[in-house]
């Protein structure tokens, strides 16, 4: 969604400033400096100079610094609970596969706030579904915000490390893959692979933002051999945590590049702009 918003702003002639906390940034052992975290690195690669990135826990300071460089549109990544920052539009995503985290708050469930917090939403987007009336009915108990739907589409399956060699669509059903990932919702990735016609012979999950080691890759290769897989596949986010570990594997390693699809894109964007105008925060010059 962050990528979608930044790209839409770019088409409107605006260079978005993305404020992201940057979870689990890794230190380069050789240089002794912090490396850009996976999600920020992926956004930078996708967007290039069409957007600016502010990475760090203090997103207010990051935003002020980018404002001094001329930024006027800010996208707060994963920030619905970051109440220290005023915002003009709250867009809340609800995963149709697990919409309310079992109804339990952390640590018993995955909810960060009670469902009543949806009352702060200006827009709700139900993901991984084209129609979810039962989810909508529950949402309507807590919010009157406009509701939209979105799903992910597969753009390409590309071979690491350069990701310039794409696997032809006709070959997706011919190769048996061991699928692995270190993301927040691994089950959704494995589900999507099968939905896209990718043959998954085995699965392996790691902690979100996991940094892979050569030992990890050797273990994955052994698991792939046991499962009868001839290649391995991961998410685009995982690529930025693999480092050079994937270059030493005997089996080819591929990554999926996906995009968010909003069937009612123009209506959604209109709702965003309406919320911005309605809630626009007055900023002293």
Distances (CA, A) of 230 to 7, 207, 224, 226, 250: 36, 24, 7, 10, 10
Per-residue model confidence as pLDDT tens for the chain (285 residues): 999 999 999 999 999 999 998 765 554 433 333 557 888 999 999 999 999 999 988 999 999 999 999 999 999 998 999 888 889 999 999 999 889 887 888 888 888 899 999 999 999 999 998 899 999 999 999 999 999 999 999 999 999 988 889 999 888 889 999 999 999 889 999 999 999 999 999 999 999 999 999 999 999 999 999 999 999 999 999 999 998 888 888 999 999 999 999 999 999 999 999 999 998 754 434
Q: Which of 46, 50, 43 is nearest to 20 (CA)?
A: 43
pLDDT, position 218: 95
Token representation of residue 189: 């990735």
CB 172 within 8 A of CB 151: no
pLDDT, position 232: 97
237, 240, 245, 248 alpha-carbon torsion, rounded to 10°: 80
pLDDT, position 285: 40
Pairing of strands 91-95, 123-127: parallel
- Locate the domains of the chain by residue range: 1-87, 153-260
pLDDT, position 281: 58
Fold annotation for 153-260: Rossmann fold (3.40.50)
Token representation of residue 69: 């460089």
Could you give the angle at which helices 2-11 and 38-47 cross, rounded to 10 degrees?
20
Say how far apart CA 53 and CA 94 lie, in whole Å: 25
Q: In what order do the strands lie in the sheet with 51-55?
A: 51-55, 16-20, 74-76
Distances (CA, A) of 86 to 74, 187, 200, 230: 11, 34, 44, 50
């Amino acid at each position: 969604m962050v990528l979608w918003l930044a790209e839409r702003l770019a088409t409107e002639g605006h260079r978005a400033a993305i404020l992201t906390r940057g979870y689990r940034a890794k230190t380069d052992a050789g240089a002794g400096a912090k490396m850009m975290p996976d999600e920020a690195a992926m956004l930078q690669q996708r967007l290039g100079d069409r957007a600016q990135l502010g990475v760090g826990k203090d997103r207010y300071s990051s935003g002020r610094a980018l404002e001094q460089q001329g930024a006027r549109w800010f996208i707060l990544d994963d920030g619905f609970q970051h109440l220290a920052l005023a915002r003009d539009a709250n867009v809340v995503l609800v995963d149709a596969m697990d919409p309310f985290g079992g109804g339990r708050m952390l640590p018993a469930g995955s909810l960060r706030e009670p469902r009543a917090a949806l009352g702060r939403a200006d827009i709700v987007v139900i993901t991984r579904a084209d129609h979810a009336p039962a989810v909508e009915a529950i949402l309507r108990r807590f919010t009157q915000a406009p509701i939209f739907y979105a799903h992910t589409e597969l753009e390409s399956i590309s071979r690491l490390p350069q990701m310039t060699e794409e696997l032809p669509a006709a070959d997706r059903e011919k190769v048996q893959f061991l699928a692995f990932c270190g993301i927040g919702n691994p089950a959704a990735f494995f589900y999507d692979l099968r939905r896209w016609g990718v043959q998954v012979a085995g699965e392996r999950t790691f902690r979100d933002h996991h940094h892979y080691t050569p030992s990890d890759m050797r273990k994955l290769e052994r698991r792939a051999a046991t499962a009868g897989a001839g290649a391995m596949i991961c998410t685009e986010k995982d690529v930025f945590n693999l480092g050079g570990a994937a270059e030493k594997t005997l089996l080819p390693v591929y990554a999926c590049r996906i995009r968010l699809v909003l069937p009612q894109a123009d209506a959604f964007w209109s709702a965003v702009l309406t919320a911005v105008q309605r809630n626009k925060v007055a900023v002293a010059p």
